[in-house]
Amino acid sequence: MKSRIKAVKPIALKDVTIIDDSKLRKAITAASLGNAMEWFDFGVYGFVAYALGQVFFPGADPGVQMIAALATFSVPFLIRPLGGLFFGTLGDKYGRQKILSITIIIMSISTFCIGLIPSYASIGIWAPILLLLAKMAQGFSVGGEYTGASIFVAEYSPDRKRGFMGSWLDFGSIAGFVLGAGLVVLISAMVGEKDFLDWGWRLPFFLALPLGIIGLYLRHALEETPAFQQHVEKLEQGDREGLHSGPRVSFKEIATKHWRNLLICVGLVISTNVTYYMLLTYMPSYLSHNLHYSEDHGVLIIIAIMLGMLFVQPVMGLLSDRFGRRPFVIIGSIALMALAIPCFALINSDVIGLIFLGLLILAIILNCFTGVMASTLPAMFPTHIRYSALASSFNISVLVAGLTPTLAAWLVESSGNLYMPAYYLMVVALIGLATGIFMKETANRPLKGATPSASDITEAREILQEHHDNIEQKIDDINEQIAELEKKKENLVNQHPTINE
């Protein structure tokens, strides 16, 4: 009988992809800029919500105005899964570079348009309706933005540097948030409260258009990722006739074959983003509303914390390339579980230095997650379904995590217990710990469905040698298992009178 085992060619030095440094830097810059713009809008919108409430909902009392403005802020989270499903499918079919160019166009135009919308006094009910439509367009584009950018960077990065390179993506997120919040504070201080309510709040939104043009230029100039190019080349060899319609995406395959990684992705995204929104979105209102600090003090403390996070972020990514991704998820989860209550004790101490220390500890714990997330998630799925699987699971998880500020505020108000956010984080830490325990290590390994990648020829030789050593070790392990099975077989044969003859 003929063997059905397909002959596999040994991996040679020519099969290791050498990543061009200049292309890698351009890829990281282009991807990070789009991510920065997403969080720039979050920073701006969150800190001008009180102004938007008065401009678009003038008939309501101040509390309802704030709630209405924040409600429109939450709309993108509801639309994101649809955007993730749409752009994820297209990204796996036609490539990452094309989709990222589309998402940054939609995101920059919709953000810019918020600054153009006339007030309620000018056009009545159409003002809040247009605001809602602009936020829906934002949410749709953002659904494909972060996952596409993380995949783009991961597929461009050398195997040994993927953690460090991926960490710059969330560096862009934090930098965008700081820029947005800082710009609001600066403009408000320069023009005064009256002019800020009249026209000053529009200025930060106008900045989105030039940022988007720069991001589009950078993304349009890039080539498709090496991993996706390899995937298309394989399709050309095996299915020339079907290639014109693009690679096929099977959602049945995603759900049945990769359910474990889907759950791990959901766990990692929820634990990361709940901590993110708790610290950076909810804490300013917690400091002002519950602890009665002025809004300016709360904003400045959070901005200072985020500036500190910028320095820690790439360090976490760099260390994850050396020690692995799993240790940071596990350590971050254990630290969050153990230190959530002590951190909130410091935050409630009524001493500025101790408040800052409590927030700083939470920020460093958050860095444990954000430092590895962008490099971990793309490594969970093979090339042909990577965008679809990641975008759908990521955005559903973010939808859950996006409820954090609202739930935390409701828990504190309904219970009267200022430590409820700490208990909330401890529950999330359990999810993170389970995720870290069950996830497979991906550091210093090729992406699924892609050949190994290296920074230069010397590193390529080292990677190839490690690959061959790993094969030899696996062969030795299999030989040991065969020897054990032979012993078991012999023992069973000896127990059977007929087979033994």
- At 207-265, the pLDDT tens digits run 888 888 888 888 888 888 888 887 777 766 655 444 455 555 666 777 778 888 899 99
CB-CB contact of 103 with 34 (8 Å): yes
Using CA atoms, how far apart are residues 393 and 373, in angstroms rounded to an integer? 14
pLDDT at residue 430 greater than cutoff 90: yes
- What proportions of the chain, in percent to the nearest 5, are helix, strand and coil? 85, 0, 15
pLDDT score recorded for residue 242: 46
Tell me the sheet residues that pair with 453. Answer: 17
DSSP track, 286-331:
IIIIIS---HHHHHHHHHHHHHHHHHHHHHHHHHHHHH-SHHHHHH
Domain boundaries, the chain: 19-226+247-455, 459-500
pLDDT at residue 1 greater than cutoff 60: no
pLDDT band at 176 (very low <50, low <70, confident <90, very high): confident
pLDDT score recorded for residue 13: 77
CB-CB contact of 243 with 235 (8 Å): yes
> For residue range 442-473, what is the model confidence (pLDDT) as tens digits?
888 888 877 788 888 888 888 888 877 777 88
From the options 3.30.450.90, 1.10.10.10, 1.20.1250.20, 3.30.390.10, give the CATH code of 19-226+247-455: 1.20.1250.20
Using CA atoms, how far apart are residues 419 and 411, in angstroms rounded to an integer? 10
Q: Taking residues 88-110, report their average pLDDT.
A: 87
pTM of the shown model: 0.83
Q: What is the average pLDDT value for the chain, to the nearest integer?
A: 83
pLDDT score recorded for residue 375: 92
Residue % of the chain over a pLDDT of 90? 22
Residue % of the chain over a pLDDT of 70? 89
> For residue range 48-59, what is the model confidence (pLDDT) as tens digits?
766 777 777 676
Which residue intervals of 95-202 are DSSP H helices? 96-116, 120-123, 126-156, 162-198
pLDDT band at 421 (very low <50, low <70, confident <90, very high): very high
